[in-house]
Each structure stands twice: as C-alpha cells, then as structure tokens.
C-alpha cells in the first residue's frame, strides 16, 4: 500500500466517545483537561457530546448516538482526514450490541494512523504530549489503488 503524508494541524479535531458505563469517567477526565481541550475542536457521539457540552460548557459538535451510526460517522471523518485524535472510553466488560461498529471505528483509526486512547491513562499521555499543540505529519494510505 502506498502512503502519503497528512498534516494534523496545531488546532486538532478531537473525537470523544464513551460507553454508558464510562461516561462519568470521561466527564471527569474532560473536566480535568478542560482548558487544554478548549484549544481544539471537539466532536462526539450523541449522548457523550451532549453530556460533555452540558457539564463542562465546552462546544462539542454532536453526531448520532454510537448505536445509531455515530461511531460510523466518526470513522468516516477519520477516513476523510477530518479527525486528528480519538478518545474512546470503551467498556471492555460489557457486551455492546453495536460491537462490529466499535471494531470498525478502532480499525479505521489505526489504518489512518491517528492517536487513540481507550482509557484515561492513555488519554493523559496524549494530552501531555507536546505534539497535541503542534503540527504532526502522519503517514496515511494513499487514495491510489
């Protein structure tokens, strides 16, 4: 597969997703990183985006709920180069009816070479990296076949 370079700008687009049992954890994490997150554009699946916006005052573009296609909407944006970071607080102990969508979202994030945090510790590492507020050149699949 041929690859080309894509620049993630200083002002990142950060996607926020959290399963029901992880929403409180994500909200607590967002509140802790509120000032830093305010420097970026936030997009989230339906309920997660609403909760983050309502409880922190941060502006979050809301997509559909995960089970209703929100995970796929975020995946499509990643493939278009319109999402730079995925913060997906998922619950590995609870079966999800839309598990294939979750797997597809994580797969597309890896294919398109964006940072992915599936838990608080990894999200902390991403937010503490100097690259979160700097341009970053990533290697992504070429549009050629």
∠ Cα 52 63 85 (to 5°): 70
Side-chain half-sphere CA neighbours of 112 within 13 A: 25
First to last CA, the chain: 8
Tell me which residues are annotated as active site. 71
Give the pair of three-digit tokens for residue 97: 């009816």
| Rounded Cα distance, 38 and 26, in Å | 15
Give CA 143 to chain center in angstroms: 23
| Rounded Cα distance, 89 and 19, in Å | 7
């Amino acid at each position: 597969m041929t690859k080309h370079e894509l620049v993630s700008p200083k002002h990142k687009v950060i996607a926020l997703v959290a399963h029901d049992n992880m929403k409180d954890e994500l909200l607590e994490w967002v509140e802790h990183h509120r000032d830093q997150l305010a420097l970026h554009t936030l997009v989230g699946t339906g309920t997660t985006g609403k909760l983050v916006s309502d409880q922190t005052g941060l502006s979050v573009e809301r997509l559909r709920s995960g089970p209703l296609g929100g995970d796929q909407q975020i995946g499509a944006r990643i493939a278009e180069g319109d999402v730079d970071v995925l913060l997906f607080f998922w619950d590995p102990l609870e079966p999800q009816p839309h598990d294939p969508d979750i797997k597809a979202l994580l797969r597309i994030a890896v294919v398109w070479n964006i940072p992915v945090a599936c838990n608080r510790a990894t999200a902390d590492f991403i937010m503490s990296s100097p690259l979160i507020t700097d341009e970053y050149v990533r290697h992504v699949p070429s549009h050629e076949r």
